[in-house]
Structure 1
Amino acid sequence: MTRLSFEEGTVRLTDPPADLDLAWVERDPRTKTARAPGHRYADLRDALDAAGVEYEDGVLDAPALDLTTSYELRDYQQAALDAWRENGDRGVLELPTGSGKTVVAIAAIAALDTPTLVVVPTIDLLDQWRRELEAEFDCDLGQFGGGVQEFGPLTVSTYDSAYLRADEVGDRFGLVVFDEVHHLGGEGYRDIARLLAAPARMGLTATFERPDGAHEVVADLVGPLVYDVSVDDLAGEHLAAYDIKRVTVSLTDEEREEYEAAQGTFTDYLASSNLQLRSGSDYQKLVMRSGNDPRAREALLAKQRARDVMMHADAKVDELEAILDRHREDRVIVFTASTDLVYRLSERFLIPAITHETGASERRTILRRFRDGTYSRVVAANVLDEGVDVPDANVGVVLSGSGSEREFTQRLGRVLRPKGTTADEDTPPEDVAATGGATARADVTPTQDDLPATRAGRAVLYEVVTEETAEERVAARRR
């Protein structure tokens, strides 16, 4: 009889059927065995069952845990869970930030009642997930990451730790949940999914598609996108209604002269070297050239100077001052792409700053004080875009950022949670969906006097863009 076993990320078939013809099964005629990647375990079982082959399955060590949950899913959350289950307990769910992705995953864990590994990108999310699992389930918890390496029937791990431990624990989990699953598209992280035997796989994200196309790899390792719902679908009922407001500012004469000179140096080099920057890989070619081509290096430095001028424009700081004055009674998060600008704004407006240089303890203190109202505004450089439990805010200001749609969606999601309400008892406080409000309305171009304050129940996200610079194209790409 055919027997399945598991070792270091590989499913081994002893005495495999002769007519088993699968591209991902590698046969060894000398030992009368065959091998398949760990992530093909469920597919392998399906193929053997379809062929009527009797086999002994010795792969998983995943006993039932007697898990139950008290959560009552909203209609869209139930639809997401149903779509995932109908796809054989595999696939990716794309739901906006703040819509309750954690709740759907907890419902799936309870429904399958099997040992589960939850993989997250940051220590903040690791702590958040651990708190939620401890609150919901009476079960031993394990943790890989944050200085702890302990296995449990329910285990939370960072992507980095899961990468190091996947071949050791690959046969212990019946379900794996990848939070912020788009990270799995990275070359190294893909091995986490390849080495695990877990037949049930759930990916959670607010933005599934990656510009590099790596979401196709994720679909092969976790399952396809089986359910998606947009911000606009939920705004006004489950998320706060919102406005997106673009404000354009101008460079000073001095800034314009500096910008044009630096940008000219960059574009002149591209023209003389017949280079066209159509993608990130094209830009990497220029970076590689700069290692031994002084003109290429000069062009890159000039491009950086031009970028700094347009992102740090004095008019942006003046506009932020007007916005902060307009929203004195609101909770405001200011987003930038520059650590230097964060510290400049922090000093100018006496706003707590969060960057990659901010220690974990200090960051938690700032966010706790933001949550309890001690602070009404914070300024951050990228680190609050995802993977951090950010308290409710109702005004966001994007002073600078990349052309990434994912980054923009994450920043918008930071201001779509309840306004003037408390979290529902059946919803995790850091992943709660908002209630009430009117229909969403985006892409409103206001006059400077349009917005004395946010209207009740609505959120607002400002984009401050320097006109007649490359930032206009960047802002268009992310929208």
Structure 2
Amino acid sequence: MTVRLSYEDGTIRIEADEPLPPLPGVEHDDRGDVERAPAARYAEILNALEVAGLSVVDDVLDLPALSLSTDYRLREYQRKALEAWHENDDRGVLELPTGAGKTVIAIAAMAELGVATLVVVPTIDLLEQWVRELEREFEMPIGRFGGGTQKREPITVSTYDSAYLKADDVGDDFGFVVFDEVHHLGGEGYRDVARFLAAPARMGLTATFERPDDAHRVVEDLIGPKVYDVAVDDLAGEHLAPYDVRRIEVELTPEERERYENVQGTFVQYLRDSGLTLSSGSDYRKLVMRSGRDPRAREALLAKQEARRVMMNAENKRRELAEILDRHRDDRVIVFTAHTDLVYRLSERFLLPAITSETGTKERRETLERFREGTYSRIIAANVLDEGVDVPDANVAVVLSGSGSEREFTQRLGRILRPKDDGGRAVLYELVTADTAEERVADRRR
């Protein structure tokens, strides 16, 4: 029996004149009286047919070989990461700290495979960063899907949004796909990007793979499991800058304390009366849903938000920030907050260039370029510099407020870990309001 495989609109079409053995992900399609599977199952299907000893006519991929070379010399841990990926049949996720050279590993893999490659990234900034790097390394035109350009080349970089729209059209154009910040692939819509691509070779790159919603399990199914990881502390001092994390507790003012205790008390009392604990995300969702019809639930939710605002924007944090900025007047400093309005107040108070989600693309790039060239020695941002942006080197970070996310903390720490010319240490300050829920938040992210 001969089996014919072809690509069709994000699926593998399987035709045979006799019944087929069980194949991974394959279901019967009554519309065409053929068997189909998501394109992501292509490599598994080929392997299963080979094991079954069946003759295969494979019309899925017909890709030209690329002659690619790179001057990169991989560090030992980068070489081990690439070897672990090869050993898992060119599939899997690599988890390395920000600044550890994940891009270098992916480019080395492209050179070794020599096949058409799609790189998928979360932001336009990262798209342009990848394009610059690939053009410099391979000296060839690089395609783009995103930022107003839709041009395919043997090596193409796409945003997740553009890849979502185009994957079923270009799913048979690439033999290798790289997902940068691969944890984004766990999102409901973005999963289809990986499902519609037939590329057998798949690499995910991230600094923090696991997601609190367990959606990384879906990523493992589509890309492969985590095959290599290395911790920040394993690289600090040799490949990354040595660093210190200094947690500074500040007190609420008497007025802030009174306000915090009042609103926090309202919130806690509702939890006791309603039997909710918020120890799980499901209980928090219940509270949000109840707030639409229950005035007390709405009051509790607003009280929680107010308590968070008070503790994260404490006046003494601003005084402590002033001391840190004075202490590090000759250093390059990034200040992180969780609130846009606080960014603008501190920007005005300390004359800090500000970047928020409201900052236009041109202004953000100009600000970062001036920070890179030294015109600015410090900037302040609300979340937008956590990932997906090419941030110039700094050696001091100040976390004024944030979530309990380990990913957020790791990304912020990574912004100051690139090795320094003078071999100096990096330092991250965490400002935490004492005797409030922020202490638990800070513990969770650590």
TM-score over 0.5 for the pair: yes
CA contact (8 A) 2:260 2:307 kept: yes
Alignment of 1:28-427 (within 5 A): 33-420=34-421
Q: CA–CA distance in 2 between the matches of 1:224 and 1:62? A: 26
Q: CA–CA distance in 2 between the matches of 1:132 and 1:265? A: 53
Structure 1 residues 58 and 19, CA gap change in structure 2 (3 angstroms) = closer
Q: CA–CA distance in 2 between the matches of 1:323 and 1:366? A: 22
Q: CA–CA distance in 2 between the matches of 1:277 and 1:192? A: 34
Q: CA deviation at 1:292?
A: 1.3
For 1:469, the equivalent position in structure 2 comes to: 436
Structure 1 residues 395 and 55, CA gap change in structure 2 (3 angstroms) = same
Q: CA deviation at 1:22?
A: 2.7
Q: CA–CA distance in 1 between the matches of 2:124 and 2:314? A: 34
Q: CA–CA distance in 2 between the matches of 1:403 and 1:84? A: 31
Q: CA–CA distance in 2 between the matches of 1:171 and 1:23? A: 19
Q: CA–CA distance in 2 between the matches of 1:31 and 1:313? A: 64
Task: Give the alignment's TM-score, normalised by structure 1.
Answer: 0.91
CA contact (8 A) 1:243 1:458 kept: yes
CA contact (8 A) 1:240 1:459 kept: yes
Q: CA–CA distance in 1 between the matches of 2:190 and 2:375? A: 39
Structure 2 residue identity aligned to 1:346: S
SS in 2 for 1:173: coil
Q: Percent identity?
A: 71
Q: CA–CA distance in 2 between the matches of 1:123 and 1:36? A: 32
Structural RMSD (CA): 1.3
SS in 2 for 1:462: strand
Task: Give the alignment's TM-score, normalised by structure 2.
Answer: 0.98
CA contact (8 A) 1:180 1:206 kept: yes
CA contact (8 A) 1:16 1:33 kept: no
Deviations 1:208-252 (A, max 9, x none): 111111111100000000000010010110000111110000001
Q: CA deviation at 1:297?
A: 1.0
Q: CA–CA distance in 2 between the matches of 1:378 and 1:62? A: 46
CA contact (8 A) 1:118 1:157 kept: yes
Q: CA–CA distance in 1 between the matches of 2:193 and 2:232? A: 30
Structure 2 residue identity aligned to 1:350: L
Deviations 1:363-395 (A, max 9, x none): 111111111111110000000000000000000
Deviations 1:135-163 (A, max 9, x none): 11133321111111111111111101100
SS in 2 for 1:188: coil
Q: Which runs of 5+ in 2 are unaligned?
A: none
CA contact (8 A) 1:15 1:32 kept: no
Higher relative contact order (CA 8 A, sep 6+): 1
Q: Which runs of 5+ in 1 are unaligned?
A: 422-455
Q: CA–CA distance in 2 between the matches of 1:174 and 1:238? A: 32
SS in 2 for 1:106: helix
CA contact (8 A) 1:61 1:173 kept: no
Q: CA–CA distance in 2 between the matches of 1:29 and 1:143? A: 37
SS in 1 for 2:53: coil
Q: CA deviation at 1:272?
A: 1.3
Q: CA deviation at 1:418?
A: 2.2
SS in 2 for 1:213: coil
Structure 1 residues 50 and 372, CA gap change in structure 2 (3 angstroms) = same
SS in 2 for 1:77: helix
Structure 2 residue identity aligned to 1:8: D
CA contact (8 A) 2:243 2:426 kept: yes
Q: CA deviation at 1:28?
A: 5.1
Equivalent residues, number: 445
SS in 2 for 1:419: coil
CA contact (8 A) 2:24 2:45 kept: no
CA contact (8 A) 2:85 2:92 kept: yes
Q: CA–CA distance in 2 between the matches of 1:211 and 1:123? A: 26
